[in-house]
Every structure is written in structure tokens, then in C-alpha cells.
């Protein structure tokens, strides 16, 4: 088990120190708070990733539409008359 580059022995030491510093009564509340914080960060990260994907997708569609319009302009008879 390796979380954030920290192995099981390091997690056990950190938990023991936290238990010593905060005491057994406050530790569950701190754990819940940390869990909620991590959950909200994960949710925000997921929402950001979804918005980024939407923006990239919309940008790709716009670029494809612009390329399609440019091809039609290049092949149009009106454009060819201007250059003749």
C-alpha cells in the first residue's frame, strides 16, 4: 500500500503522532474533516476536468467548422474570379 509516496509504516507513525497530539476524542472528528476535504477536492478536480474536456471538444468543433468554411471559400467560383 503506497499513498502519496508514503508506505504503511510511515502512515502508522503519522497516525500515532496524531493520536498523541490530538487525543482519542478529537481524532475521529479530524478524520471526518479530512475525509470531507479530500472528497470536495476530488469533486472539484472532476468538475474541472469535465469543463476542460467540454472546452476542448467545443474548440475542436469550432476549428473543424472553420476549416470546412475555408475549403468552401477556396473552391468557390467567386474567389476564382477575383484572382483571374
> DSSP per residue over 18-83, as a string?
HHHHHHHHHHHHHHHHHHHHHHHHHHHHHHHHHHHHHHHHHHHHHHHHHHHHHHHHHH-HHHHHHH
pLDDT in tens, 24-82: 888 888 889 888 998 998 999 999 999 999 988 888 777 676 665 656 565 655 555 55
Q: Show the domain range for 53.
A: 2-83
Number of domains observed in the structure of the chain: 1
Q: pTM here? A: 0.50
Phi-psi region of 23 (alpha: psi -120 to 50; beta: other; left: phi over 0): left
The pair phi, psi for residue 76, each rounded to 5°, is -75, 145
pLDDT at 3 over 80: no
pLDDT score at 70: 57
pLDDT in tens, 33-48: 888 998 998 999 999 9
Residue of 39 and 11 predicted with greater confidence: 39
Amino acid at each position: 500500500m503506497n499513498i502519496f509516496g508514503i508506505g504503511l509504516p510511515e502512515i502508522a507513525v503519522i497516525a500515532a503522532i496524531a493520536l498523541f497530539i490530538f487525543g482519542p476524542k478529537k481524532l475521529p472528528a479530524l478524520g471526518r474533516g479530512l475525509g470531507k476535504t479530500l472528497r470536495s477536492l476530488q469533486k472539484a478536480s472532476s468538475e474541472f476536468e469535465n469543463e476542460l474536456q467540454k472546452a476542448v471538444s467545443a474548440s475542436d468543433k469550432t476549428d473543424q467548422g472553420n476549416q470546412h468554411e475555408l475549403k468552401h471559400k477556396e473552391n468557390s467560383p467567386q474567389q476564382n474570379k477575383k484572382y483571374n
